[in-house]
Amino acid sequence: MKTILNGTQLAITIDRLCHQLIETHLHFEHTVLIGLQPRGIYLSDRIHHTLQKLLPGTPIPYGKLDITFYRDDFNKGAALHVPSETDINFSIENKRVVLIDDVLYTGRTIRSALDAMLDFGRPATVELLVLIDRRFTRQLPIQPDYTGRTIDAIISEKVRVLWQERDGKDEVIILE
């Protein structure tokens, strides 16, 4: 096991990502945030909370998207995927959407999210924010717009993001 980000580094990284979003979206008039279920919502909750502290009084629509039934391996005998709740109570029609997930690996989760997102309207633009980019494992031409940390992990290594709310501590680790 190797630690990529400890709790302090993770907090600094989230703060940096929020400042990058503010630089790009400024007042968030036409921007919405969407966290991907199940594990991306821990990051998106923190991003949304931090943005609300940095921009008090600025409404930033925030939703959570479950992609279970849009996955290309849903009926392929892969591991059982238990659906999570989708909570998007706004239209994304002509909005600037920022999709948020914890780890970008093959790109298939993001492809599924793009399909699922269209049920809520056609966005003007879509950006991707990820905490960890495993850049050499991509199977689809999907790249993040905002990245917390880029790592070069071999295919047999697993990247785990631990969250205080779920795992009892904040940390990003690589398991061999």
Q: Which domains does the chain have, with CATH numbers?
A: 2-175 (3.40.50.2020)
Asked if residue 15 has pLDDT above 90, the reply is yes
Closest alpha carbon to 176 in 1, 23, 51, 7: 1
The β-bridge partners of 75 are none
Asked if residue 133 has pLDDT above 70, the reply is yes
Percent of the chain with pLDDT over 70: 93
Residues 25-82: tens digit of each pLDDT: 999 999 999 999 989 999 999 999 999 999 999 999 999 999 987 766 545 555 555 6
The 3-state DSSP composition of the chain as helix, strand, coil percent (nearest 5) reads 30, 30, 40
Asked if residue 145 has pLDDT above 80, the reply is yes
Asked if residue 151 has pLDDT above 80, the reply is yes
Residue 146 confidence (pLDDT): 98
